[in-house]
Structure 1
Amino acid sequence: MYWYRENYGEEGGVDFNLDRRGEGMWWGSFINGASDDHEGKPACDEPWFRVPFGEAPPPMPGVPTPEVLAGLAHQFTRVPDTEIALNPEDAEHQVVNLPTWIRTEGASTEPVSVTARVEGYDIWATTTAEPARLTVDPGTRDAVTHPVSGECVIARDGTIGEPYRRGRAEETPPCGVTYLRATHATGPYRLVATLAWEVSWVGSGGSGGDLPDGSVSAPRDIAVDEIQAVVR
């Protein structure tokens, strides 16, 4: 209160343009109590200033930029779990030397976008995470991945892999694995399908760029049997 009286008197005060409410906002600096930058906190002393809606605030420390908003949106970007389907469908009854077809299911490969903006001003950024590839780790060296690299590419329609259909028994799946040894003596193999996501952003003023990528894994326990003849 001493500081207030010294600057504005007993009955004075800051003119916050209350008669022009809805036409703009007051901007001020605040110290982040959670920050470890104790030496930098005293520098957070910019005086209050008003910026009408639609106008750009002055470029100064602490004013949100598209880059800052992109980082904020990136923190709130949540991609779905990786959902895969197998054929044969029963993970506990895969077969030695018979290709297991793998594909993604549901919304697990749909792009995800998040926008952060300063309301009333043309300051915004949108991050978009898009699936890039599915990497299959069969969980054992006694297996062959399809393709050999183990990286299944995403199709133009956003899907990865294809479902098995009758008559394709002699084909190699575009995404899958062929196990070469049964699991009777070792226990189930731990198959892990990892979907990689590439993240980019665009923002006001023509800004944009790339952000750190991410990935989501889906583990499955796979039991492999030895069968002489198989009818799908």
Structure 2
Amino acid sequence: MRKVAARTVLALIVPVLVVVGSTDAHARRVPYGPTGKGQQEDNGRYSTEAKGQRVVQFSGDGGAGNGGGNLAVSGADWEPPPCWYAPTYTPKQLKKAVDESPYELTGKRPDNGAKKQEIDGSIREKYSKGDYKNFNLKKQGDGMFWAAVPNPNEKDAAKRESCTELPFWVKKGEQPDVPGAIDTKILAALAYQRIQVPETKVELNPENKQTVRLPTWAWLDKGTFKPLSVTASIDLGGGVELSATTTVEPGALKLEPGTEDAETHPASGECAAGEDGTIGTPYTKGNAKKTPPCGMTYLRSTPKGETYAMKASVVWNAEWKGTDGTGDKLPDGVFGNEQPVPVQEVQSVNRD
């Protein structure tokens, strides 16, 4: 075991106290929770729970949802943890759980097979007379039993149930040297998985209909596409709390005109963010025939009543920082949408 210095949770966006299992009538839906539980409240606060214990709390401006969605991470050797270990049971709570259904402590779904009774007996033995004497009831308040917490957003059941260690004792103020034990890196990954970015709505000029061989200017609204953060926190007990904040910010805009009969500006179709965070340049009067720093030029009109399905995707750069001084980059995430673009054939156009 390694000692963890007591720290105050550093919620870089909005420090909140989340009550797990709230019966608040204003709770709207269940977005996230290791056991399928948890709530999203109207004020944008989030939490997860395992076996009824407060485990992970979320806060920040990147998780409330605003018409967009979660980021996709592709082409990278990275995925959120399918499960983890976290402080879950007091000695009294573990004894109650073993008395009621010890087989469920294995981290897998109960199985009514022939070995179930045998496994139940060995688990009872482990906590009553084996590794622990009478469930560590005499150590009540000196620590907690850590147990497996499945990630409900993991679709693969085998992965979700891959944390199969039985609950193990951890003294108050310590963090176990056990693979999968929750730490700031895992918290950062959970926060990243939680972030929701806005719908990728690109501003275009002309706004309603494009013209063959005249450039279309494209840019993002800086007020909408701005850095977003989510903080994930956990109380380890004994005044020890860990927290990690994952932040994403727009790094580039990728344009796909929806037809091969078009040119993109720049030729790569990827418009990088400027030093001030802006992507693309808003059109100004007098630039109708100039090549935009970010945009497209269509070479063929759409049939009457039809449109090209232009796709715009924002590449979001990600990084995280933990309250224990840890931190690193995370793989870029991508979120995109299609926009209908009609293109007309006009011999003479004056856009100024």
The alignment's TM-score, normalised by the length of structure 1, stands at 0.79
Judge conservation of contact 1:115–1:127 (CA < 8 Å) in 2. Answer: yes
Shift of the alpha carbon at 1:106?
5.5
Judge conservation of contact 1:125–1:203 (CA < 8 Å) in 2. Answer: yes
- Aligned residue for 1:141? 260
Q: Deviations over 1:48-106 (max 9, x none)?
A: x441xxx443434554211111121122111221121111111xx21111111111125
**Do the aligned partners of residues 153 and 27 (structure 1) sit closer, same or farther apart at CA in structure 2, a change above 3 Å counting?**
same
**Do the aligned partners of residues 39 and 109 (structure 1) sit closer, same or farther apart at CA in structure 2, a change above 3 Å counting?**
closer
**Do the aligned partners of residues 107 and 218 (structure 1) sit closer, same or farther apart at CA in structure 2, a change above 3 Å counting?**
farther
- Aligned residue for 1:16? 140
Q: Is residue 2:120 matched to residue 1:26?
A: no
Aligned AA (1:44) = L
- Aligned residue for 2:196? 78
Q: CA RMSD in A?
A: 2.9
The unaligned stretches of length 5 or more in structure 2 are 1-98, 100-123
Aligned AA (1:75) = Q
- Aligned residue for 2:207? 89
Counterpart pick for 1:214 among 329, 333, 337: 333
- Aligned residue for 1:167? 286
Residues 163-202 of structure 1: pairs in structure 2 closer than 5 A: 163-184=282-303, 187-202=306-321
**Do the aligned partners of residues 122 and 30 (structure 1) sit closer, same or farther apart at CA in structure 2, a change above 3 Å counting?**
closer
Identity %: 38
Distance 2:347 2:189 in 1: 56
Counterpart pick for 1:44 among 166, 185, 192: 166
**Do the aligned partners of residues 103 and 124 (structure 1) sit closer, same or farther apart at CA in structure 2, a change above 3 Å counting?**
same
Judge conservation of contact 2:258–2:311 (CA < 8 Å) in 1. Answer: yes
Aligned AA (1:30) = A
SS of 1:168 mapped into structure 2: coil
Distance 1:218 1:165 in 2: 25
**Do the aligned partners of residues 107 and 39 (structure 1) sit closer, same or farther apart at CA in structure 2, a change above 3 Å counting?**
closer
Aligned AA (1:156) = E
- Aligned residue for 1:110? 226
Aligned AA (2:147) = F
Shift of the alpha carbon at 1:40?
6.1
Between Structure 1 and Structure 2, how many residues are aligned?
215
Q: Is residue 2:346 matched to residue 1:230?
A: no
**Do the aligned partners of residues 14 and 107 (structure 1) sit closer, same or farther apart at CA in structure 2, a change above 3 Å counting?**
farther
Counterpart pick for 2:182 among 64, 67, 71: 64
